[in-house]
Amino acid sequence: KAGVTQTPRYLIKTRGQQVTLSCSPISGHRSVSWYQQTPGQGLQFLFEYFSETQRNKGNFPGRFSGRQFSNSRSEMNVSTLELGDSALYLCASSSGTSGRQRETQYFGPGTRLLVL
């Protein structure tokens, strides 16, 4: 089985712009979670989707949004980019209804976003 894929892998944007990141989960996985990773804060949970419904959301401003499509692929969007949004954005999928259950989460390689 192919792993979790994320596109693009690298992205450079300027402040004020918006960005959309894409994630394709492992075939058959319907739960997708997004995380932000920075050197200072480490990993932080953004949101989780199952069957096109957002199940959980982390403590991020409304500029961060996401959605999941009927084929389980997911996108996240960040509007009005700030310098502090520079980070590695990771997507993970699992076979259960939630990545918080005992099923293993499988992470993609991430999208590295640099905001100038």
Partner 1 sequence: KNQVEQSPQSLIILEGKNCTLQCNYTVSPFSNLRWYKQDTGRGPVSLTIMTFSENTKSNGRYTATLDADTKQSSLHITASQLSDSASYICVVIEPSGGGADGLTFGKGTHLIIQP
For partner 1, the binding residue among 19, 81, 90, 113 (CB under 8 A) is 90
CA dihedral 45, 100, 50, 78 (to 10 degrees): 0
Q: Considering beta carbons, is residue 24 or 105 the nearer one to partner 1?
A: 105
From residue 104, alpha-carbon distances to 21, 47, 56 in Å are 23, 17, 18
In which residue are the tokens 């069957």 written? 51
Contact map string, positions 10 to 49, toward partner 1, x by CB under 8 A: --------------------------------xxxx----
Contact footprint for partner 1 (CB under 8 A): 4, 42-45, 56-59, 90, 92, 98, 100-102, 104-110
